[in-house]
Structure 1
Amino acid sequence: MKKKNLISVVGPTGIGKTRLAIDLAKHFSTEIVSCDSRQFFREMKIGTASPSSGELAEAPHHFIGSLSVEDYYSIGQYEEDALKKLNGLFENYETVILVGGSMMYEKAVIEGLNDLPEADEDNQKKLQAIFENQGIAKLQELLKELDPEYFAVVDFHNHRRLLRAIDVIWQTGKKYSEQIAVSQDSRDFKTIRIGIEAPREELYGRINRRVDLMMENGLLEEARSLEPFKHLTALNTVGYSELFKYFEGEWDLDFAVSEIKKNSRRYAKRQLTWYRKADDIHYLPLGYSQEDFNSLIEYINEQIDLNH
């Protein structure tokens, strides 16, 4: 059976992910799942740069404005909800779009949240010696004893898999099967990650202009309406916490706006650092042309073909 495809559009705040996700959704006649944790909250439309009603009308979106700031919602709940939603969408579509700059929320969908420890050198040496002196059967026996559930599903002729699992169990004292319950192994779709890149100065200029536009569009009024909820986690975020300080008389408005810009640029810098570590993101230039978009579609189709 053909594997399904998830095209994940990533990148820093303000770079144009929403537009690219919509262009891709229209090309593939599919739907969009958001992994932008701030856009989940319906009362925070302006400050989170949620897609406009026009944009939402161009392609079906999920998890945009689906919660109230008063709702408690964890990343674990999101992982469960997003996978459930994807399973439903994959019944109708070969390909679905994921978009958002919340790094851990994307990771929750495409990999699962469990961070397994790095290999322990001493454990690896011990296990390698067992393998060399007593053969693979001894490793199989060890794993079967420590974690019968994983032993039942692992390729037990692959000694590297056995070494890895036993090492993790020794380090954590927990069964490997429990720790990988939501790992990449359990994802039955292929992820194709797409990014947009821009010179840093250009990105920072876009972020500054976007904050000015948010202010013109009514961010001040939106933040004022949310002031009674400022103690909630959802509101402890760039664009709101700075304006709350203005309302309290701690800062003047110009300074609060300049802090929103500064903190948005800082957040973008953290996002860039995170994405730079990944070697599986195919990048488009900012302000991509139709030609750039066409070659992106070619790249995606090649990846999809590899999947069949």
Structure 2
Amino acid sequence: MFNALLLEQSGKDTTARVQRLKQEQLTEGNVLVKVDYSTLNYKDALAITGKGKIVRQWPLVPGIDFAGTVLASEHPNHQIGDEVILTGWGVGEQYWGGLAEKARVNGDWLVPLPGLMTTQRAMAIGSAGFTAMLALMALEKAGVTPAQGPVLVTGASGGLGSIAVRLLTKAGFEVHAETGRMQNSEWLRSLGACEIIDRTTLDKEPAPLESQRWAGAIDAVGGRTLARILSQTKMHGAVAACGLAGGVNLNTTVMPFILRGIQLLGIDSVYVSKETRMLAWQRLQDSLPKDFEQEAETYTLEQSIAVAHDLLTGKVKGRVLIQP
């Protein structure tokens, strides 16, 4: 028996509560993992509260990422005692996820924990930090360099955004941070942001082209904010899109693309290749402060339900760890 946060559907309502489950109830997979830590991401909060169409099967254990130790394996690349990380692959949506003491998954989805990283640190980074690193790598591949000017990060008070600020700063960029919570301004400056931008100044319908402001951007908001960023990106700049908190519609024109030659880069952190995953995690190992994991708030499975509601109402800053 083990503890898990189980989501069940009653009519159109979602119920979430911690239950004792049998190991046989776990979804199919060839690797059984003892979960040391999981996290609470925006997608998890939508699933737990029932405010988004995230869950694809009922009942479901949510949690789109976790880190832990292999308890049993029928996969050639993973042995008992190995420490592993999982992010993406539909876990916590279609397959039972990490908000539990145990998880069983396809071993192809797991990557080994980098040698100097703990499972606690891995999940303090989590899907949010992993996605932020993929976005940075995409900007670099697109040719964006610190010499070209500042890079904008939207949703900077959130998990993904706050780590993006740190990663860009570490890489030598001048970082401008957009947030809907201006009370976090000093905290964002402590992470490396040089300028703080109120979200309301960007959440407006853009002109086809506006004054050139940023060499690039990591956008976790989407919607009108993304459209406005595109109209303000410098010649031959690039924008990495990795979120939709502000909406899924994109009302823009071709003008930024054909008159300024900018690139819009979609960041896939769910089905990205294992080779890219391992490269990103190796870079993450050395790109954040040594005590980074101590900054994350740690909660129990029982507390995760209330924290999910807080996350959606903007009461959560930075990263959230869940220790089953």
TM-based fold match above 0.5: no
- The answer to which structure has the higher helix fraction is 1
- The answer to which structure has the higher strand fraction is 2
**What TM-score, normalized to structure 1?**
0.32
Say which one has the larger Rg.
1
